[in-house]
Amino acid sequence: MTRRIVVDTDTGIDDAHTLLYLAGRPDAEIVAITSVFGNCEEEDAVRNIGHVNRLIGLDVPVARGAAEPLAGTANIAGHVHGKDGLGDRGYHRPLPPVTGESAAELLVRLAAEQPGELDLLALGPLTNLAAALRLDPELFTRYRSVVLMGGSGPYAPPGTLLMIDANVHNDPAAARAVFAAPRNELVMVGVNVTGTTILDERAIGALRAAGTPRARFATEILDSYLDFYQNEWGRRIIPLHDPLAAGILLDPGFATASMYGPVNIRSDGFLSRARLMRTHDGLPPAFPYEPAPDTRVITAVDAPRFVADFVEALTQ
């Protein structure tokens, strides 16, 4: 069965990889794309959408979204994805044709026109989704599912450290609105699992050797991403953050364990995270928390199987 997907993206390197992955999966149809700030400025995000769409031959509605969070200023990850979001390779990236509506308006209109038929895949800060909920508080009940790359899972075992939950940290107020909203199904694919899904040297070598336009582009844009992550592991490897969320949307079997419960946005004074209000062994936390509808929170994945599927989709 083909999943018809609306993608909301702050089009950096792993977002571009996600669009390539979806284009390579026969059971996925991208029906619209919306842009948001995050990995790069919003204008770069929409330019990158246009660039990837031309590469994969995709002609779908594109709507421009938020350039900054609901409160505060944007935190742009140029040190990770390059200033332009695609590793500063110097690509010619003209602005693509866009609809006359905002990202939020497009998300609401499509759900109203095709209730229960579309899945929403959110790959960046959740600002556009929060803005759409202001227009239609029941929005998520009109999507078949909402799958987002963000969050940190349940509280980790003592002594465990996690990667930054960047998409939530970049707009915690928007994330709070999203996790509080009524929904059919909301799936959180957080850094607790994306950080374990590694595109290693062998897999990168397979992409380089493929020679197809999609695989060539996927490896061209990797350098700045590899430069960043080599400081984490001492190896030129990367986690497949956003692609994993797309993979789980298409094949829930990539997730080998999950928990259900309320998600709250918590800050330690420096970083904000979306946390399932459970400890790693399923107990409630030792403090009061806000009630919220249940979110399906992914806690373990079959990383080798997903990485093999990702490479196959980009090299076939």
pLDDT tens string for the chain (316 positions)? 899 999 999 999 999 999 999 999 999 999 999 999 999 999 999 999 999 999 999 999 999 999 999 999 989 989 999 999 999 999 999 999 999 999 999 999 999 999 999 999 999 999 999 999 999 999 999 999 999 999 999 999 999 889 999 999 999 999 999 999 999 999 999 999 999 999 999 999 999 999 899 999 999 999 889 999 999 899 999 999 999 999 999 999 999 999 999 999 999 999 999 999 999 999 999 999 999 999 999 999 999 999 999 999 999 8
CA dist 197 and 200 (Å) reads 9
Q: Nearest-CA neighbor of 310 among 55, 50, 31, 19?
A: 19
Cα end-to-end distance, the chain, whole Å: 20
The residues carrying an active-site annotation are: 241
| Distance, C-alpha 137 to centroid of its chain | 22
Q: Nearest-CA neighbor of 167 among 136, 191, 137?
A: 191
Q: Distance of CA 96 to CAs 67, 92, 110, 163, Å? A: 17, 12, 20, 33
- At residue 176, the pLDDT reads 98
- At residue 224, the pLDDT reads 87
- At residue 161, the pLDDT reads 85
- At residue 1, the pLDDT reads 87
Superfamily of chain region 3-315: Ribonucleoside hydrolase-like (3.90.245.10)
Task: Report the 10 Å Cβ neighbour count for 294.
Answer: 14
Residues 6+ apart with CB under 8 A from 236: 201, 204, 226, 229, 230
- At residue 148, the pLDDT reads 98
Residue 75 and residue 118 in contact, taking contact as beta carbons nearer than 8 Å: no
